Amino acid sequence: MYSRWLPIGDLVRHRSLFLLGPRQTGKSTLLRQTFPHARYIDLLEADTFRELSTRPETLRQTLDPRDTLIVIDEIQKLPGLLDEVQALIDRNRDLRFVLTGSSARKLKRGSANLLAGRAWFTRLHPLVSAELPADTLMRRLNVGSLPAVFDSPVPGEDLHAYVSVYLQEEIRAEGLVRSLERFSRFLEVAALTNGHILNFANVSNDTGVPVRTVREHYQMLEDTLIGFQLPAFRQQRKRKPVATAKFYFFDVGVANTLMKRGNIAPGSELFGAALEHLVLLEVKAYLDYRRIDLPLTFWRTHAGHEVDLVVGDSVAIEVKGSSRVTPSDAKGLAALSEETTLTTRIIVSMERLPRMTDDGVRVLPVETFFSELWAGRLF
């Protein structure tokens, strides 16, 4: 069992929570570990779902006066229950709810009651470096960071099963697409766009799916927490930037499986892309867990200058899979420095020792970068 960095206990002391995260990130395990005496309601249980869907007032009528914390798993299956949750919170300021969800689609797109400020939103990500033993980088780059997959003796089989379960449970069960076969084809092509600038027309041509439907499918991946867009950084003075976002899946192992990648080894063609993906996921998780409201973007110009990750408007990070960083690797950081004021410039690489270049760029081994990130020393 892993000790997770999400401060769920501290958050609940202040407010009820929506706890969102893809399936198998460990939401239920974390909650049962942190709140062993809470009352648990699992909407995946057929009898519980039937009872509360037909008679939502059962939640209120069966409340024990001694209950101080109620956990409702998979709240997106029954958004109408949120009216009862709000009524209970309004009647008892000391009562807390944790409402978990593996999909935000019905919450975002329906007329769901989001409790009007009575609950905060937080996210649980797959495992991060601060939650894992040392020397696990290569395993994470190959099989990802979902707890059950990471610990599995047959992670490849589990990842294939995970993708199938996602298609069956999140897509087919919710009736989100008319043709599961066409969506499966789209998903395979979408995986090839992982880490690349989105081009809906190209994906449409490759899948035979209309552009409008392609856009809807990408939005569906975001709503069901399977992927996200990384917008382009736009705050510059001289060079014209690209305006289109990149797309990333929430886990390196899931992306590898969808792309049918083989083994990823240092020095291979795929290594740098997988390392960049993992660094982005770590930074995204850190900002979420620390509740730091800074935008994440990337920077690329039509002339070819590029920086992998910009945090806020002052920290720029370039990721290189090589064991030796050369001056040419810092060209993108130098170009961005001419467009905006950067307080920190970092190149994450496979070099063995941290160092500072003559022009002030920090070159950090990936493990050192992760350590400094979670120690709060980067931003």
Instruction: Count the helices and strands in the chain (H runs, E runs).
Output: 16, 13
CA distance 80 to 363: 51
Work out the mean pLDDT of the chain and round it to a whole number.
Answer: 91
Q: What is the pLDDT of residue 110?
A: 54
As a whole-number percent, the residues of the chain with pLDDT over 90 amount to 76
- For residues 71 and 98, is the Cβ–Cβ distance under 8 A? yes
The pLDDT of 190-212, averaged and rounded, is 92
- Overall average pLDDT of the 296-317 stretch: 93
Give residues with Cβ within 8 angstroms of 200, minimum separation 6. Answer: 211, 214, 215, 218
DSSP type of residue 80: G
pLDDT of residue 168: 67
pLDDT at 173 over 90: no
Does 237 or 46 have the greater pLDDT score? 46
Q: pLDDT tier at 185 (50, 70, 90 boundaries)?
A: confident
pTM: 0.93
Tell me if 18 sits within 8 A of 120, measured CB to CB.
yes
Q: Look at residue 243 in the predicted model and tell me its pLDDT.
A: 72
Q: What does the pLDDT read at residue 175?
A: 61
Q: Quick one: average pLDDT of 225-252? A: 85
Q: What is the mean pLDDT of residues 175-198?
A: 84
pLDDT band at 188 (very low <50, low <70, confident <90, very high): confident
Residue 112 has what pLDDT? 59
Give phi and psi for 221, each to the nearest 5: -60, -40
Name, in order, each residue with C-beta under 8 angstroms of 159's C-beta and a sequence gap of 6 or more.
143, 144, 149, 253, 254, 256, 257
Residue 222 has pLDDT above 70, yes or no: yes
Does position 304 have pLDDT exceeding 90, yes or no? no
Highest mean pLDDT pick, 107-116, 137-146, 234-243, 255-264: 137-146
- The predicted-structure confidence for 342-366, as pLDDT tens digits, reads as follows 999 999 999 999 999 999 999 999 9
Q: Is the dihedral of CA 135, 141, 147, 153 positive or negative?
A: negative
Domain 8-124 superfamily per CATH: P-loop containing nucleotide triphosphate hydrolases (3.40.50.300)
Assess whether pLDDT exceeds 80 at residue 21. yes
Using 50, 70 and 90 to split pLDDT, how confident is the model at 378? very high
User: pLDDT for 62-117, tens place per residue?
Assistant: 999 889 999 999 998 898 899 999 999 999 989 999 999 988 877 766 555 678 78
In this predicted model, what pLDDT tens digit does every residue of 112-133 receive, in sequence order? 567 878 899 999 999 999 999 9
CA neighbours closer than 13 Å in the CB half-sphere of residue 180: 13
What's the CA gap between 164 and 166, in Å, rounded? 5
* pLDDT at residue 184, as a whole number: 82
pLDDT at 114: 74
Listed by start position, the domains of the chain span 8-124, 130-374
Instruction: For residues 218-242, give the mean pLDDT.
Output: 83
Asked if residue 326 has pLDDT above 70, the reply is yes
In the prediction, which pLDDT does 237 show?
59
